[in-house]
Amino acid sequence: MNKLLETIIENNREWTQKGKVATYIPELSKANPNHLGIAVYTIDNEEFCAGDCNVKFTIQSISKVIALMLALLDNGKEIVFSKVDMEPTADTFNSISSLETRNPNKPLNPMINSGAIVTSSLINGKNGSEVIERLLKFTRKITNNPDIDINYNVYKSEKETGHRNRALAYYMKSIGIIEGDVEEVLDVYFKQCSIEATCKDIAKIGAMLANDGILPWNGERVIPRQVARIVKTIMLTCGMYDASGEFAVKIGVPGKSGVGGGILVAVPSRMGIGVFGPALDSKGNSIAGWKVLEDISKELDLSIL
Amino acid sequence: MNKLLETIIENNREWTQKGKVATYIPELSKANPNHLGIAVYTIDNEEFCAGDCNVKFTIQSISKVIALMLALLDNGKEIVFSKVDMEPTADTFNSISSLETRNPNKPLNPMINSGAIVTSSLINGKNGSEVIERLLKFTRKITNNPDIDINYNVYKSEKETGHRNRALAYYMKSIGIIEGDVEEVLDVYFKQCSIEATCKDIAKIGAMLANDGILPWNGERVIPRQVARIVKTIMLTCGMYDASGEFAVKIGVPGKSGVGGGILVAVPSRMGIGVFGPALDSKGNSIAGWKVLEDISKELDLSIL
Amino acid sequence: MNKLLETIIENNREWTQKGKVATYIPELSKANPNHLGIAVYTIDNEEFCAGDCNVKFTIQSISKVIALMLALLDNGKEIVFSKVDMEPTADTFNSISSLETRNPNKPLNPMINSGAIVTSSLINGKNGSEVIERLLKFTRKITNNPDIDINYNVYKSEKETGHRNRALAYYMKSIGIIEGDVEEVLDVYFKQCSIEATCKDIAKIGAMLANDGILPWNGERVIPRQVARIVKTIMLTCGMYDASGEFAVKIGVPGKSGVGGGILVAVPSRMGIGVFGPALDSKGNSIAGWKVLEDISKELDLSIL
Amino acid sequence: MNKLLETIIENNREWTQKGKVATYIPELSKANPNHLGIAVYTIDNEEFCAGDCNVKFTIQSISKVIALMLALLDNGKEIVFSKVDMEPTADTFNSISSLETRNPNKPLNPMINSGAIVTSSLINGKNGSEVIERLLKFTRKITNNPDIDINYNVYKSEKETGHRNRALAYYMKSIGIIEGDVEEVLDVYFKQCSIEATCKDIAKIGAMLANDGILPWNGERVIPRQVARIVKTIMLTCGMYDASGEFAVKIGVPGKSGVGGGILVAVPSRMGIGVFGPALDSKGNSIAGWKVLEDISKELDLSIL
């Protein structure tokens, strides 16, 4: 397997030249566009990796999956889906128009920015600090990595320049979707996006989801099977921005990408996969990471359909 | 199994009271809103059914699945997806705005009306009559029912009143997505929507898809595995109008509904299901049929995630 | 005055280099982009002109003003404005989205394509031929030119390629805004757009409007003062596509342009102006014609505000 | 004249029953819906009034006219219109979609909320306090009323609940249209909306605009004629929210309404009019105030077209 992963990484490294690293904040633009790595973690507790699988990156939108799990654990699905819908959309991830034109006025799903900000606002905690602490603690548990933490430089950049997300959040405040203090909610959101991890960490999150909510390394159930199912389904239909449909057709498994270059994949009953390649395509997905996943999906027949 | 199906039908029959039959054409408004039926056809060639499973109805949007198969067989996926995208959308099935505002200008997927009209325009045939003949012949084969035919009263109604679809088609003609004669393309589309079938016929189509393209009753491969995969994936992400995401979360299998009240379901490697209940919910899906599928999905643990 | 007009034409002829003639139909693309002409017709019955003021061109969208007058004469304002609104819009002239997203579903004003097609459908006549005959007769009267006729090559081109307008018309048929046969309504519309005239003809239409509905050359009232007022107001707020606001600020008088390169202007209580320059700016207005009007507005202090 | 005004007020008072006072902030909902008043101030320095013309109200969106004058005085039209367009729109006054979908991304005009927030951000002042001081000073001068001040209860309400405007402002910050601190810009905006005045004050602002920028009572020029022209033109095409076109057709003069119930009107070369009636129609304009203006426009033949 390690051999296969290495071959796939080498075969696709040239794709890193065809994308561009995110530049909307200075910290992200410092990423090395040539990086490309993959890690696989099976539900039988085996780990494989190749390429730059030990390089840390900020998980960005991958954190939306983690926040959704906590929000569902804290509130149950009825409350969560009364505030954010579960419909895929061909709008861009930071679209504000759809909030205005849809009826009822709620974000279309928890994988676009507006929906993810709502999701974060639903996590329990007496203040923002407590919320982010719970998010970090949960992330450390499902990655089996006590060193997981926030990259504060990225966080500060996000906070200073995150005016588009502010617009989304204040819009939702104005229509009653967000109840608390907007800046406090956004602070949690900017921090969760700035959590740093490696492919290996991401692969373990995928393995837990693939294993229906049970950590493969110690048999502990961290989320109910139904929560795992909901999260994987929403990843499948909505996880790759406005290329989610194409990802489902071409790769055929639940995935979630982030503009930091990471992609989280959960192959039901088989394995989690973490991919990292900061050069992005025009829709914000890791360009080489996507190609790596196409190859591994074909080689291992991963598609669930 | 027949017992289980009967129980589920009885438990959900009250839901038929909460929906409304389609009224946009007189023929459809004559449907009996109390009808509710289900048929299951396994890949092991067993058939089960309960309720009004022998009542004929027009398949309407379920025909989009059949047309997509033929278009892929005739052209290959590269050509088909150069004309119609594969992205799910939260827009309504007959939306015209998204054609104007998206870049590039192509229908978002083959399960909304605009995309389906394009799909039909891509089926080989020296004229419209030949195209619809091929469609009928293919439908007869995959339902194992030589009596499948068009309901000409419904067809005439559709043709006379289908101005919204005409608008979509002429818009696509104006941007070069449709190449042939618009009225001829629409004639095929109105006819394919007016094909009549029963739950049992629909279940067999589902069984063929569940069986990766092979007819369970005689082992004949009618479409390549890859075409079956693409079709099932697009059903999963786009098949239930703007409730596709919710269907994926709650039922968890590829499905396609029609405003005639039918729902086609393919449970990978297990079975096809056909449901019929002409009372519709506000999004155009059979209201009781949806509930029946929720129950059977729970009972038989059908979800693929 | 003729001297002034000649100076202005010469000063602005270089602007013709910066635009492009319409190319959506072959006939229009044959126009000479260097043409530039102006005619002025005062309510005191004086005529002045300079440049290419005897060159014929198809009036295209300028015909929307003529059709609106007839529709108001035939139906009264209540009926007309129950079918088409009177609100300016920043959408493009051929936008279809706004028909879908606005509530109520009616075209925003009679100067965009959708609204103009409705307007034409409201003109009395037992069939399309009679409608276009009435339109031509009325146009001949208000231009004092019995030779006004349709350019049949342009008309045929429009009809063959007018799929975008077909989409608009069928959409409006589907929502009940257009009542008659769509192709017959469109035939009138394509013919009215293909009416040929010169700057001098156009200036006379403007003079009639400037004169509150009375033909300056014979004192005959052709439309009531109130109809003249409504038409001029809608020209002021909506006449120059999505540059209407800028035209009002910079030139300050009611105007209506066409992609054939013509602009009709009515300066209340003073004069009509016809301008012709087929090289268009990016919004579809004559680029040099606009500049000519800016200069003459400044020189003669034409702004009504 | 006073007699005429009184008759018109009495004839239209019943219309106050058909509208509703604004309720988005508690302070505004306390308004007396039966109030109805009018004041006329001619360029010959005569004042007339009738009804509740001494009742104070917050000017709300009427302040957009004042801010636009100052922004033009401070920056010139090139700079102002590089940040905000001058095109009328059929979108609602607080639309955020159009910011996202238009190209280029700038507010359509200074009379909708997004455009007005930009306008306020362009007024000189070393901080928000200085800007609002200048706005107040200017307002006192053009109303000839040194007592003009802010209603601090309304201001506090606006600031606490103005999340929709915050969303607009942060969106514009994210695309570079607003340069300074968003909360400081919004503070100015909320304060300017909370300026209190009577019909008589508003009529004087109208008289100054009608008089091309010269105060009728002392002959002082406060803005250049060209600025007065631009402001009046934008009022005419954009001043009454998405009913601007209808107002132009039915009343035919530049106007600007506010949700506090006021309407500012400038009749070129004749008079200013201030109307007050807090019961609003569905588009946010004073329902009886509009009727009063229809009547007075007919009686005095005010239409400029």
What is the ipTM metric for this complex? 0.94
Nearest by CB to C170, from B95, B97, B167: name it. B167
- Does any CB of chain B come closer than 8 Å to the CB of residue C103? no
Nearest by CB to D97, from A101, A164, A169: name it. A101
Are A304 and B305 a contacting pair at CB < 8 A?
yes
Contacts 24+ apart (CB under 8 A), C158-164: C158/C25, C158/C190, C158/C193, C158/C194, C159/C186, C159/C187, C159/C190, C161/C24, C161/C25, C162/C186, C162/C190, C163/B170, C163/B171, C163/B173, C163/B174, C163/B182, C164/B170, C164/B171, C164/B174, C164/C94, C164/C96, C164/C113
Partner chains of C (3+ C-beta pairs under 8 Å) = B, D
Name the token pair of C251. 């030139």
Q: Which residues of D touch A182 (CB under 8 A)?
A: 163
Are B170 and C164 a contacting pair at CB < 8 A?
yes
- The percentage of chain A sitting over the pLDDT mark of 70, rounded to a whole number, equals 100
Are D245 and C303 a contacting pair at CB < 8 A?
no
| Residue C105 C-alpha from the chain's centroid | 24
- Does any CB of chain A come closer than 8 Å to the CB of residue B107? no
DSSP state of B14: G
Q: How many residues does the structure list for chain C?
A: 305
- Does any CB of chain B come closer than 8 Å to the CB of residue A88? yes
Give me the pLDDT at residue C24, please. 86
The helix-helix angle for D128-143 and D63-75 (nearest 10°) equals: 110
What is d(CA C95, CA C116) in angstroms, rounded to the nearest whole number? 12
Whether pLDDT at A64 is above 90? yes
What number is the average pLDDT over the span D233-241? Answer: 97
Are C304 and D303 a contacting pair at CB < 8 A?
no
Per DSSP, the three-state class of A285 is coil
Whether pLDDT at A86 is above 80? yes
Q: What is the pLDDT of residues A187-197, one digit of tens each?
A: 999 999 999 99
Q: Which of C150, C167, C193 is the last residue of a domain?
A: C193
Q: Do A51 and A98 share a domain, yes or no?
A: no
Q: What is the pLDDT of residues C287-302, one digit of tens each?
A: 999 999 999 999 999 9
Cα Rg of chain B, angstroms? 18
- Does any CB of chain B come closer than 8 Å to the CB of residue A102? yes
Whether pLDDT at D279 is above 80? yes
Q: How many domains does chain A have?
A: 2
Are A174 and D168 a contacting pair at CB < 8 A?
no
Residue recorded with tokens 């006192």: D140
Residue C304 is assigned to a structural domain of this protein: no
- Does any CB of chain D come closer than 8 Å to the CB of residue C151? no
Give me the pLDDT at residue B100, please. 83
* Domain interval for residue B38: 2-58+198-299
Residue D305 is assigned to a structural domain of this protein: no
Give me the pLDDT at residue D248, please. 98
Instruction: Strand C47-51: give its sheet, edge to edge.
Output: C47-51, C37-42, C271-276, C262-267, C255-257
Q: Which residues of D touch A112 (CB under 8 A)?
A: none
Give me the pLDDT at residue C21, please. 95
Q: Is A103 annotated as a binding residue?
A: no
What is the least distance, in Å, from the CA of C259 to any CA of chain D?
Answer: 20
Asked if B85 and B237 count as a contact pair (C-beta separation under 8 A), the reply is no
Q: Is A61 annotated as a binding residue?
A: yes
- Closest by Cα among A115, A112, A120, A143 to A257: A112
Catalytic residue among C120, C200, C241, C253: C241
Are B171 and C182 a contacting pair at CB < 8 A?
no
Q: Do B48 and B93 share a domain, yes or no?
A: no
Whether pLDDT at B102 is above 80? no
Residue C269 belongs to domain with CATH number: 3.40.710.10
Helix boundaries (H) for chain D: 2-12, 26-29, 63-75, 77-83, 97-101, 113-121, 128-143, 152-161, 163-174, 182-193, 199-210, 225-238, 244-250, 287-300
The number of beta carbons lying within 10 Å of the beta carbon of residue D136 is: 17
Q: Which of B167, B193, B219 is the last residue of a domain?
A: B193
Are C85 and D245 a contacting pair at CB < 8 A?
yes
**Residue C40 phi, psi (nearest 5):** -125, 135
- Closest by Cα among D252, D235, D244 to D297: D252
Catalytic residue among D21, D61, D106, D231: D61
Q: Do C125 and C95 share a domain, yes or no?
A: yes
Whether pLDDT at C303 is above 90? yes
Catalytic residue among B41, B155, B171, B241: B241
What number is the average pLDDT over the span C131-138? Answer: 98
Q: Do A37 and A55 share a domain, yes or no?
A: yes
The helix-helix angle for A182-193 and A63-75 (nearest 10°) equals: 130
Give me the pLDDT at residue B27, please. 86
- Does any CB of chain A come closer than 8 Å to the CB of residue B244? yes
Nearest by CB to C171, from B96, B101, B173: name it. B96
Give me the pLDDT at residue D246, please. 98
Asked if D68 and C217 count as a contact pair (C-beta separation under 8 A), the reply is no
Residue C305 is assigned to a structural domain of this protein: no
Give me the pLDDT at residue B103, please. 72
Give me the pLDDT at residue C25, please. 86
Asked if B167 and B153 count as a contact pair (C-beta separation under 8 A), the reply is no
Q: Do D169 and D224 share a domain, yes or no?
A: no
What number is the average pLDDT over the span B26-42? Answer: 95
Whether pLDDT at C101 is above 90? no
Give the chain B residue nearest C168 (alpha carbons).
B167
Nearest by CB to D90, from C108, C245, C305: name it. C108
Q: Do D56 and D78 share a domain, yes or no?
A: no
Q: What is the pLDDT of residues B146-159, one digit of tens each?
A: 999 999 999 999 99
Give me the pLDDT at residue B98, please. 83
| Residue D43 C-alpha from the chain's centroid | 20
What is d(CA A176, CA A96) in angstroms, rounded to the nearest whole number? 15
Q: How confident is the model at residue D99 (pLDDT cuts 50, 70, 90)?
A: confident
Q: Which of A169, A193, A217 is the last residue of a domain?
A: A193
What is the least distance, in Å, from the CA of C166 to any CA of chain B?
Answer: 6
- Closest by Cα among C37, C85, C79 to C197: C37
Cα Rg of chain A, angstroms? 18
Give me the pLDDT at residue D220, please. 98
DSSP state of A146: T
Residue A305 is assigned to a structural domain of this protein: no
Whether pLDDT at A99 is above 90? no
What is d(CA B49, CA C151) in angstroms, rounded to the nearest whole number? 66
Q: Is B152 a catalytic residue?
A: no
- Does any CB of chain D come closer than 8 Å to the CB of residue C258? no
What is d(CA C195, CA C112) in angstroms, rounded to the nearest whole number? 18
Cα Rg of chain D, angstroms? 18
The number of beta carbons lying within 10 Å of the beta carbon of residue C75 is: 17
Which residues, in sequence order, are CB contacts of A208 under 8 Å at separation 6+?
A142, A214, A215, A216, A222, A223, A228, A272
Per DSSP, the three-state class of D193 is helix
Q: Do B150 and B273 share a domain, yes or no?
A: no
Q: Is A303 annotated as a binding residue?
A: no
Catalytic residue among B185, B259, B267, B275: B259
What is d(CA B217, CA B42) in angstroms, rounded to the nearest whole number? 10
Q: How confident is the model at residue C119 (pLDDT cuts 50, 70, 90)?
A: very high
Give me the pLDDT at residue A276, please. 98
Give me the pLDDT at residue A60, please. 97
Characterise A42 by phi-psi region: left (phi > 0), alpha (psi -120 to 50), beta (else).
beta
Q: How many B/C residue pairs have CB atoms within 8 Å?
A: 57
Are C85 and D305 a contacting pair at CB < 8 A?
no
What number is the average pLDDT over the span A2-11? Answer: 96
Nearest by CB to D245, from C98, C109, C303: name it. C109
What's the N-to-C CA distance of chain C in angstroms?
Answer: 23
Nearest by CB to B163, from C97, C99, C170: name it. C170
Give me the pLDDT at residue B94, please. 87
Range of weakest confidence among B19-28, B280-289, C252-261, C284-293: B19-28
Residue A74 is assigned to a structural domain of this protein: yes
A 110-149 near B (Cβ less than 8 A): none
Q: What is the pLDDT of residues D185-220, one digit of tens each?
A: 999 999 999 999 999 999 999 999 999 999 999 999
Nearest by CB to A237, from B102, B237, B268: name it. B237
Q: What is the pLDDT of residues D29-40, one digit of tens each?
A: 999 999 999 999
Range of weakest confidence among A239-248, D103-112, D221-230: D103-112
The number of beta carbons lying within 10 Å of the beta carbon of residue B145 is: 15
Bridge partners (DSSP) listed for residue C195: C150
Give me the pLDDT at residue A251, please. 98
What's the N-to-C CA distance of chain D in angstroms?
Answer: 23
Q: How confident is the model at residue A26 (pLDDT cuts 50, 70, 90)?
A: confident
Are D96 and A95 a contacting pair at CB < 8 A?
no
Are C95 and B96 a contacting pair at CB < 8 A?
no
Residue B305 is assigned to a structural domain of this protein: no
Whether pLDDT at D104 is above 80? no
- Does any CB of chain D come closer than 8 Å to the CB of residue C105? no
Are A89 and B85 a contacting pair at CB < 8 A?
no
Q: Do B110 and B140 share a domain, yes or no?
A: yes
Q: Do A79 and A173 share a domain, yes or no?
A: yes
What number is the average pLDDT over the span B236-251? Answer: 97
Q: Please state whether beta strands D255-257 and C196-197 pair in parallel, antiparallel, or not at all (unpaired).
A: unpaired
What is the least distance, in Å, from the CA of D243 to any CA of chain C?
Answer: 7
| Residue C221 C-alpha from the chain's centroid | 21
Give me the pLDDT at residue B152, please. 97
What is d(CA A251, CA A230) in angstroms, rounded to the nearest whole number? 19
Residue C54 is assigned to a structural domain of this protein: yes
Give the chain D residue nearest A92 (alpha carbons).
D100
Give me the pLDDT at residue C143, please. 98
What is d(CA A9, CA A199) in angstroms, rounded to the nearest whole number? 13
Q: Is D144 annotated as a binding residue?
A: no
Partner chains of A (3+ C-beta pairs under 8 Å) = B, D
Q: Do B78 and B189 share a domain, yes or no?
A: yes
Per DSSP, the three-state class of D209 is helix
**Residue A242 phi, psi (nearest 5):** -85, 25
Q: Do C205 and C272 share a domain, yes or no?
A: yes
Are A109 and B245 a contacting pair at CB < 8 A?
yes
Q: Which residues of B touch C96 (CB under 8 A)?
A: 96-97, 99-100, 167, 171
Q: Which residues of C touch B176 (CB under 8 A)?
A: none
- Does any CB of chain B come closer than 8 Å to the CB of residue A230? yes
In our burial notation (b when 16+ CB lie closer than 10 A, e otherwise), range B21-32 reads: bbeebebbeebe
Q: Which residues of A touch D100 (CB under 8 A)?
A: 95-97
Q: Do C24 and C80 share a domain, yes or no?
A: no
Asked if D2 and D8 count as a contact pair (C-beta separation under 8 A), the reply is no
What number is the average pLDDT over the span C74-100? Answer: 93
Q: CA of A304: how far to CAs of A236, B33, B286, C238, D61, in Å?
A: 10, 36, 26, 55, 56
Q: How many C/D residue pairs have CB atoms within 8 Å?
A: 101
